Structure 1
Amino acid sequence: MFMDRGVNEALKIMGLTDYQASAYTAMVTLVSARAVEVAEVSGIPRSRVYEVLRQLSDRGFVEVERGKPMRYHVVPPSEVFRREKGRIIKKLDEAMSRLTEIYEDRVARVPTPVWLIHGQEKIVKKELEIISRSRKELKMRMGFIFRDEIKALRPALDRITDRGVEVRIMARDVIDVPGEVEVRRIPPVRMLVRDSQEMMWIFSRFTPDGAPIPETAIGIWNQYPEIAENYARIFDTVWKGGAGRSP
């Protein structure tokens, strides 16, 4: 029996063996059948087909009708795929949460605490990481904003403000994000500091009309707590003093 390669790969992602995938595909074509018919269509040896069908029954891919001989009825692919997709996504989400927790716990311990990050996409991803690690406070100076960046940052800021993190942002223009935002006359440079533990400076070249050029952007990610704490204090001083505040 010929089996589409993509179908076979999908069934294997669900955890089926070659024989199980072949038997289920055969059952889809037969809908209802005896074991000998499944063996004939799938090419699985008769000595193995009963065990394979039992395994599929245990996994919820086929149902068994007791009798002599026993008959097998296929569980519709739409039902099987919906159920398995949910199971796989749940496992992936659990694994991602666990690995992210480990990563965020270890990231501050890497031997090289200063990294250069190039390009808008990678910089925004790093911003989201830093924001997600915020536990008490996040301070941002937004001297410029990438296109569509606010749309990417808003959900992450929502999550940390919901956890009680204090978010303070200086920006050149009014922006609609969670936290306390003040409009200031600030240079076209970016900075964010979280919990006085890590920070990132962001620089870019600009078009004649003042838009940042994504491919020229550079982020300097710094994990020296002493430096992050120093810039957090400077931010606080400027924030409290209102230096350069727009009218």
Structure 2
Amino acid sequence: MERRIRKALRLMDLTDYEASAYTALTSLVSGRAGEVGEAAGIPRSRVYDILRKLAEKGFVEVERGKPMRYHAVPPSEVFRREKKRINEVLHEAGVELTRIYEDQISRVPAPVWLIHGQEKIIKKEIEIISRSRHEFKMRMGFFFRGELKTLEPVLGRINDRGVDVRVMAGAEIRGLPCRVRIVEMPPVKMMVRDGEEMMWVFSRFTPDGSPIPETAIGIWNQYPEIAENYSRIFDTIWEGGRAGI
């Protein structure tokens, strides 16, 4: 059996013998237990039990008679059904683990992490934005290629939940589903969530002013005192006070 087929059938919770029997039966289309066992290389003493389990899992249909015949449920039907089931399992697990993670993250002793590289930084930005409950503030002294397009739907979701989303930018930007204000600022990014956590992002730049992705560094911390302080400074600048953080 091809390795990819065996791997896929294992993802569908089939044992090695069950995967071998189903694969053999797809080549036979239908057959008696002995024929399936011979084609799959399964001991005759095991084949009936394996076919019964395949029928219970929806991979095989049984035609009653003497002798009984077994028909393979078409792979297209099986894969469509199993993909839906696996996606539902992954979604439910992801929701539950995210709930546990977000509930516990605020209880972890306030640490500081360094995050290196554009891809990891943008993933952390999405994570911070998604955790917003009341307000999210961001200063965009620069942005990576494709970053605005990536963040737009995430900001839209929290905005729809009633989160107060404000973005200050050093140049005109379009398409973000939130309030945007143009403010002169250095090429540095900063974001603050609910006055509880924040991240600074720095980068080196090419001569034409584009950030160099591999040089980017994010400094993420969860010290509420620091986050709340920068949240207040953000508000001062937003309202037209001193320009610079």
TM-score (norm 2): 0.96
1:72-93 per-residue CA deviation (whole Å, 9 max, x = no partner) reads 1110111101111111111111
User: How far apart, in 2, do the equivalents of 1:50 and 1:61 lie?
Assistant: 14
User: How far apart, in 2, do the equivalents of 1:207 and 1:5 lie?
Assistant: 46
Q: Please, which of 138, 158, 168 is the counterpart of residue 140 of structure 1?
A: 138
Match runs of 1:22-41 below 5 Å = 22-41=20-39
1:170-211 per-residue CA deviation (whole Å, 9 max, x = no partner) reads 001222211100111111111000100000011111111111
Deviates more, 1:235-244 or 1:92-101: 235-244
User: How far apart, in 1, do the equivalents of 2:158 and 2:96 lie?
Assistant: 18
Match of 1:240 in 2: 239
User: How far apart, in 2, do the equivalents of 1:207 and 1:70 lie?
Assistant: 73
TM-score (norm 1): 0.95
1:12-67 per-residue CA deviation (whole Å, 9 max, x = no partner) reads 11100111111101100100101111111111111111111111111110101111
Match of 1:5 in 2: 3
Match of 1:219 in 2: 218
Match of 2:183 in 1: 184
- Contact 2:202 / 2:218 at 8 angstroms: preserved in 1? yes
User: How far apart, in 1, do the equivalents of 2:58 and 2:84 lie?
Assistant: 14
Match of 1:124 in 2: 122
User: How far apart, in 2, do the equivalents of 1:33 and 1:233 lie?
Assistant: 74
What RMSD in Å do the two structures reach over aligned CA positions? Answer: 1.1
Structure 2 residue ranges without an equivalent (≥5): none
Match of 2:204 in 1: 205
Cα distance, 1:112 vs. partner?
Answer: 5.0
Q: Please, which of 145, 151, 169 is the counterpart of residue 167 of structure 2?
A: 169
User: How far apart, in 2, do the equivalents of 1:84 and 1:188 lie?
Assistant: 48
User: How far apart, in 2, do the equivalents of 1:243 and 1:211 lie?
Assistant: 27
Q: Please, which of 138, 148, 151 is the counterpart of residue 150 of structure 1?
A: 148
- Identical aligned residues as a percent: 69
Secondary structure (helix, strand or coil) at the match of 1:241 reads coil
